[in-house]
Amino acid sequence: MDFTTKLAAAWAKNNSLLCVGLDPDIEKLPAFIKNQDEPFFAFNKAIIDATADSVCAFKPNVAFYEALGTSGIEQLKKTSSYIHETYPDIPVILDAKRADIGNTNDAYVTHIFDYLAMDAVTLHPYLGGEALQPFLARKDKGCIVLCRTSNPGAGELQDLLVDGKPLYEHVARQVAETWNLQGNCQLVVGATYPAEMKAIRQIVGDDMAFLVPGIGAQGGDVEQAVKAGVTSKGDGLIINSARGIIYASNGEDFAEAARAEALKLRDEINKYR
């Protein structure tokens, strides 16, 4: 099943726009997990089992796994396989923010979609659509392009006026009109910029999903983000929270605490859809 279809089915099945970010940091893991052979996989497995019925996606960020070296990448692969085998209805998004010249992107595509078996990946737009072809050509996979990021300094480049419009609006239009020919593109739009999100939704219409980071640890407002980005059907958003959910407790009860946070956030999101 392609990413877009799988995502829409997960929104409906779990009545959820919530995505749990699987960003394990060895320093923050519960002490009894830290000492295991594969601490990231053990941690992720418990978080996945505790939240799979209340999410529309999981999103590991590759940086946390790369930090551990080869063992981290193997634990990332095991995490992806575990989700596919145990919860086949839930898509897995690799947050890797990739993009290079086309030839190099071929290698990224092989690693991310074939070796790690991810359903979607985050991408930088800076090299243009020609360079991204190896990703865009994978009709079954999601290509989630950074449009308006959640960080405080996002505007430094993204707000620059080009032909009278901020750069992020050009990115949104370019993805919608030119890169999304196969219907496999989505956009990253931070929850911390609801006015910009509203403008982007108006530009691209209802057909493109937004990956929305910035809720939880980064302080984005749930009500404002949902109202700004939701489609006329009440979906269209993949609202990510990592630290706010996975580190709800660092004791023996970490998975139950993560579940409680996930359910709370899912319900809060649903209130404003």
The strand pairing partners of 81, in sequence order, are: none
Q: Where in 205-234 is the site for ligand OMP (CB under 6 A)?
A: 211, 213-214, 216-218
**CB-nearer residue toward ligand OMP: 144 or 230:** 144
Catalytic residue among 34, 45, 78, 97, which? 97
The strand pairing partners of 98, in sequence order, are: 123
Q: Which value, to the nearest 10 degrees, does the dihedral of the CA atoms of residues 19, 1, 4, 262 take?
A: -10
Q: Please select the residue that binds ligand OMP; options are 190, 194, 229, 236, rule is CB under 6 A.
A: 190
Strand pairing category for 120-123 and 210-212: unpaired
Q: How far is the CB of 259 from ligand OMP (least distance, A)?
A: 17
Q: Does 39 bind ligand OMP (CB under 6 A)?
A: no
**Per-residue contact flags (x/-) with ligand OMP for residues 102 to 131, judged by CB under 6 A:** --------------------x---------
**CB-nearer residue toward ligand OMP: 79 or 241:** 241
How many residues sit close enough to ligand OMP to count as binding (CB under 6 A)? 20
Q: How far is the CB of 152 from ligand OMP (least distance, A)?
A: 11
Q: Please select the residue that binds ligand OMP; options are 120, 180, 240, 265, rule is CB under 6 A.
A: 240
The strand pairing partners of 220, in sequence order, are: 215
Distance of CA 131 to the CA centre of its chain: 22
Residues 186, 210 contacting (CB under 8 angstroms): yes
- Give the integer Cα–Cα distance in Å for 147 and 222: 19
Q: In the chain, what are the helix, strand and coil shares in percent, each to the nearest 5?
A: 50, 15, 35
Look up tokens 């709800």; give the residue: 248
**DSSP structure string for 56-82:** SEEEEBHHHHHTTTHHHHHHHHHHHHH
Q: How far is the CB of 23 from ligand OMP (least distance, A)?
A: 5
**CB-nearer residue toward ligand OMP: 197 or 242:** 242
**CB-nearer residue toward ligand OMP: 213 or 236:** 213
Q: Please select the residue that binds ligand OMP; options are 242, 248, 257, 258, rule is CB under 6 A.
A: 242
- Give the integer Cα–Cα distance in Å for 239 and 269: 9
Compute the radius of gyration of the chain from its Cα atoms: 18
- Give catalytic status of residue 97 as yes or no: yes
Residues 269, 17 contacting (CB under 8 angstroms): yes
Q: How far is the CB of 221 from ligand OMP (least distance, A)?
A: 14
List residues with catalytic annotation: 97
* Residues at the site binding ligand OMP, with contacts judged by CB under 6 A: 21, 23, 61, 95, 122, 149-150, 188, 190, 211, 213-214, 216-218, 240-244
